[in-house]
Structure 1
Amino acid sequence: MRGRRVAAPGAPRAARADYWGPVLECPDPHALARFYAELLGWELAKEDTDGAALIPPDGVAYLGFQHAPGYVRPVWPAREGEPRITMHLDFEVSDLGAAVAHALALGAEPASHQPQPNVRVLLDPAGHPFCLYVDA
């Protein structure tokens, strides 16, 4: 991308200027960041009054959370006239049962529709769908 500096592999985080990642709107970005930090084992890298961000161990991408006044939970599967999801997160796991149990213990809830046997669709505490899956 033009205007973007690419850091050398292994460069310390403070020296980087090439981060990228999705940002989820939510009513409580700090609580949602803590949920995903526990779920994924990622580091809380930033927290301020408007949001928070997590960085995985490889330190290149991030997952951000932004306060959204008037936030309305999306509905999945989609229903006419209801707020639709615009994206979801996928996480490959090696033990689907253990990963689902961990997510549920942290406050996720199972979605009403499960489309594939090797995938579990869950909703985070703000209602965003995310998928845990094993490679079939």
Structure 2
Amino acid sequence: MRGRERNGPDTDRWERRDWWGVVLEAPDPHALLAFWSAVLDRPIWRDEEDGGSLDLGEGVGYLAVQKAEVYEPPVWPPERGRPGMQMHLDIEVVDLEAAVANAVELGATLADFQPQDDVRVLLDPAGHPFCLYS
């Protein structure tokens, strides 16, 4: 990647120019940003009219949410002719039961279809599937 030479090990993370991230779309980006902030226990770094992002605390990765004027949530499990999951977040947790209960309390929905015993598929408030696992 061009420009990485400016990003040595001593470069302050806020001065780096090789940031990368995942951007979720939602009709209400502020609500979804607040949800992910609470689930991941990370502060909101930027919250603007059309979306925002979390401060993950280290490194140069980020999770952002942006406003989608037209949005149809993906379907889990997949069904022909309906919008399918294009990607999902995997989050390792120490206590799976407690993490699921916390996510549900914050607004997630436990999916009906659970393909693995040690993983729980949930849907965030905008309908994006994500997995908690231990």
Give the aligned partner of residue 91 of structure 1.
91
Moved more, 91-100 or 13-22: 13-22
Q: What runs of 5+ residues in structure 2 fail to find an aligned partner?
A: none
Give the aligned partner of residue 74 of structure 2.
74
Q: What runs of 5+ residues in structure 1 fail to find an aligned partner?
A: none
Matches within 5 A, 1:109-124: 109-124=109-124
Give the aligned partner of residue 132 of structure 1.
132
Q: CA deviation at 1:53?
A: 0.5
Identity of aligned residues (%): 54
Q: CA deviation at 1:31?
A: 0.7
**Residues 81/95 of structure 1: CA separation in 2 closer, same or farther (3 Å cut):** same
Distance (Å, rounded) in 2 between the aligned partners of 1:24 and 1:78: 19
Distance (Å, rounded) in 2 between the aligned partners of 1:70 and 1:3: 35
RMSD over equivalenced CA pairs, Å: 1.5
Answer whether contact 1:5 1:18 (CA < 8 A) is retained. Answer: no
Specify the code of the residue in structure 1 equivalent to 2:122.
L
Matches within 5 A, 1:7-46: 7-9=7-9, 11-46=11-46
Give the aligned partner of residue 61 of structure 2.
61
Q: Give the TM-score of the pair, scaled to structure 1.
A: 0.91
Distance (Å, rounded) in 1 between the aligned partners of 2:108 and 2:65: 16
Question: How many residues are treated as equivalent by the alignment?
Answer: 134
Distance (Å, rounded) in 2 between the aligned partners of 1:5 and 1:95: 41
Q: CA deviation at 1:93?
A: 0.8
Answer whether contact 1:74 1:82 (CA < 8 A) is retained. Answer: yes
